[in-house]
A = this chain, B = another copy of it.
Amino acid sequence: MKLGSLKEGGRDGTLIVVNRDLTRGVRATTVAPTLQKALEDWSSIAPRLRALAEQLEDDKAVGSFELDTTALAAPLPRAYQWADGSAYVVHVELVRKARGVEMPPSFWTDPLMYQGGSDSFIGPNDEIEMADEAWGIDFEGEIGVMVDDVPMGISPQAARKHIKLVTILNDVSLRNVIVGELAKGFGFFHGKPATAFAPVAVTPDELGDDWNGARLDRPLISTLNGKEFGHPNAATDLTFDFGQLIAHAARTRHLEAGTIVGSGTVANRDPAVGCSCIAERRVRETLEGGKPLTPFMSFGDHIRIEMFNRAGKSIFGAIDQKVVRYTPPA
């Protein structure tokens, strides 16, 4: 089944069940008011949401409506945790190579992960508001999973069964801010503003054979200002799968239901497939020609991120955002 949130009913939105074609929805309020609440009690709530999803597919759901996915909030409009990995180590290796810095071999065995801000995500079609173009505004196309309660110290294999939903996201990044920020030694803060999510999150069974329990075997399509930017496959060159990433996140603490774990920018070694962020293309340009050619995003630029199933249908709906100027309060 596919789940999303309407921008109504408060800060956490209103949970809806969405049909496979993303054309119709139905409020799930009789089952659970919000997606967060559903994840907190998933084993008892999921079967009832699934029954509603079946009614919706059969056009028998009372109160169903024609859906405009562009008007949706992020499936979790805010979350208690957003833990983002960097699981395509080939991407990290490229970045290091362009900077002339050796990558520690441990990066192939010990996942990189940062604690992201989760208090106010933005919807799939919300504008990316930024005060300054000079910050180096970039998108990052990623896969994310939402889990129920995960105990501290869980194994990667056991962690897999806690994956309840899968989605895609745009981990908006400010490249020129990140450089100075990481040099300070405390990780990302300003460089990672509000993250955007696809209209819906889906249960793993919706992904069929393209989901092996811990990774998603489909290309992620990024389109910048109407032109394809990349279509790397999310299973290719994935160094750490979601079982490993969740176990990593839970090494020294329990993870609360509703935690979102991210893959990091989807990247493949093959340059022919393109990139899921501008930074990687600039790195490739630097390695080829000595300097980056593609600029970061300007006010007015559009980024679209989407994934299709084997039949060519959009799985999660599209992230489609415009960068706009933000004016801070006086």
Contacts and interface: CB of A to CB of B under 8 A. Distances in A.
A79 B115 CA distance: 14
Contacts of A191: 252
A329 B158 contact: yes
Interface in A121-137: 129-131, 135
B113 A81 contact: no
Contacts of A116: 115
A115 B252 contact: no
A126 to B, nearest CB: 12
A255 interface: yes
A327 B154 CA distance: 10
A114 interface: yes
A153 interface: yes
A5 to B, nearest CB: 15
Nearest to A154: B329
Contacts of A115: 114-117, 187-189, 192
Interface stretch (A177-185, A265-273, A278-286): A177-185
Interface string A83-94: 100100000000
11 contacts: A78-B256, A81-B119, A83-B117, A119-B256, A131-B152, A131-B153, A135-B252, A154-B328, A155-B329, A186-B188, A191-B252
